[in-house]
Amino acid sequence: MKIKGNIIDIHNREIFYGEIEVEHQKIKHISKLKGNSSNYILPGFTDAHVHIESSMLIPSEFARIAVVHGTIATVSDPHEIANVLGIEGVNYMIENGKKVPLKFNFGAPSCVPATRFETAGAEIDVAGIQQLLEKSDIKYLAEMMNYPGVIFEDESVLSKISTAKKLGKPIDGHAPGVRGEHIKKYISAGISTDHECFTYEEALEKLELGMKILIREGSAAKNFEALIELLPNFADRIMFCSDDKHPDELIAGHINQLVARALKKGYDLFDVLKVACINPVKHYSLEVGLLQVGDFADFIVTDDLENFNILQTYINGELVAEMGLSKIQSIQADIINNFNISSKKSEEFSIEAKGDEIQVIKAINGEIITQSFTHKTNIKNGLAIANSEKDILKIAVINRYENEPPALAFINGFNIKNGAIASCVGHDSHNIIAVGTDDDFICKAVNLIIQNKGGISAVSNNQSKVLPLPIAGIMTNEDGYSIAKKYAAIDAFVKDELDTKLTAPFMTLSFMALLVIPSLKLGDKGLFDGDNFEFTALFSD
């Protein structure tokens, strides 16, 4: 195969008209020619950190959509399915990903369970980490979320890191807000990246200490605007990632969107493309071509160096997407799951009033961190109840692996009116999480999840909606484009019927049980102070 166009040579920072000759999946020759073209050929994009599961799609369906946007590879942490199904879940992702051309590069999930303060469906110990890291399919030790364990030298945490070092595999970080002496100790353990910086100052400190920083723009967590000004001075040590992206937003775009946004801000083309194409491949030693002779023929074609409209995507010399249409076919996948509870009753969600003030979780639109504040307890018949006028709603987390009483608290920021939403996509353990205006609504939304053994749901006075996710309770085996429409419909229902103002209500909901992110969260065992890494009381003394 031969293809002509304006070739963007990121390494040498030049653009020239030429021809690429492909033979046996690799680039055999690149010729400079006289002439010009309206099309540009460049290396494909790599998402430097993503949980495929958060798209609610299995890898093969994620690939069908991502290649349309010029994505040819991902650095994928199968942490979500691992917390449900352990090594079996990781292997499921690897094998499904192998059935399509997109180059998935999976890591060994370092924190399963994520913390000892919640109930997960599986555990991957040091022996399990070694078993995974010894696989050629596993490229790195995935994000070390237990940063207190690193800082305070937890033996099992350090053993996992040591195993990765011995096997010569990179170690990903996850240290939101960690700075000063603590971040120095975290980095000195051998951790090389962080995608959790939410301020310029935090990211700058970590870069100056030698870390590589990922600029993240997902469906809920967005730090592009906060961090992009770092790019000119640190183009060699920055990468782009999505982390968590829902199916409707994946259809709209992927890493190509970040490239276009950076260019519109006036940043240098070659610096931006180095961040989007080159740096992840180099850092993780990926078998991904970078448009050099002898490389795999992984490249994309665009006619627009501003908006990056992708005309074609090639992986190993195979045309996998053209003019907005994917050439990857859907694959019917087996269903595996771990869901073991019975339906709930409304009274299980009542809270006995034990004080005049409550601690309230404050959700922040576009962030996975939370704040907290105290508020006067709204009491009726001896029970603490929601106050929708003040946007003080009830939140519940229900253990999906065994029948236990729900953990209950209150939350601000969802602004739901007369209804509830629920999801089994509840990072990291994927227990059921729900927010609503009263116990009946919450119970109804939760039972829709239980009846379908996973999914997302929403209920109002007049309607109930559910999107089943039968694979591990967090993914579907249906067509990705169909699921994107179904997800968009239930998302619109929550915004229009329940009146939430959140940009991505279900994605925001999923992070309200993420205990390793500050400051106040709710796990299945109770209200959790993420700053001090300990449980805390709902009612103030």
The tens digit of pLDDT for each residue in 116-131 reads 999 999 999 999 999 9
Domain with CATH 3.20.20.140 in the chain: 44-285
Averaged confidence pLDDT in the chain: 96
Per-residue pLDDT at 219 exceeds 90: no
Per-residue pLDDT at 220 exceeds 80: no
Per-residue pLDDT at 535 exceeds 90: yes
Which pLDDT score is estimated for 496?
96
Per-residue pLDDT at 541 exceeds 70: no
Confidence of residue 366 (pLDDT cuts 50, 70, 90): confident
Average pLDDT value for residue range 232-241: 98
Q: What is the CATH number of domain 44-285?
A: 3.20.20.140
Do residues 444 and 458 lie in contact, with contact meaning Cβ atoms separated by under 8 Å? Answer: no
Which pLDDT score is estimated for 128?
98
Average pLDDT value for residue range 436-453: 98
**Which pair of structure tokens corresponds to residue 532?**
């001090």
DSSP string, 481-500: HHHHHHHHHHHHHHHHTS--
**Residues 165, 200: Cα–Cα separation, whole Å:** 29
Which pLDDT score is estimated for 231?
98
Per-residue pLDDT at 497 exceeds 70: yes
Both ends of the chain: CA-CA distance in Å? 73
Q: Where are the beta strands (DSSP E) in 44-190?
A: 45-50, 71-76, 103-108, 138-144, 171-173
Average pLDDT value for residue range 224-240: 98
Confidence of residue 75 (pLDDT cuts 50, 70, 90): very high
- What is the Cα Rg of the chain in Å? 23
What distances in angstroms separate CA 210 from CA 14, 31, 393, one per listed residue? 28, 38, 43
Is the Cα torsion angle 260, 176, 474, 80 positive or negative in sign? Answer: positive
Which pLDDT score is estimated for 387?
97
Q: What percent of the chain has pLDDT over 90?
A: 94
Does the pTM surpass 0.85? The reply is: yes
Confidence of residue 533 (pLDDT cuts 50, 70, 90): confident
Which pLDDT score is estimated for 511?
92
- Residues 176-203: tens digit of each pLDDT: 999 999 999 999 999 999 999 989 999 9
Mark out the alpha helices in 234-370 (DSSP H runs): 247-252, 255-264, 269-273, 279-284
Per-residue pLDDT at 487 exceeds 80: yes
Return the higher-pLDDT residue of 141 and 332.
Answer: 141
Q: What percent of the chain has pLDDT over 70?
A: 100
Q: At residue 359, what is the residue type? A: Q
How would you classify the pairing of strands 103-108 and 138-144? parallel
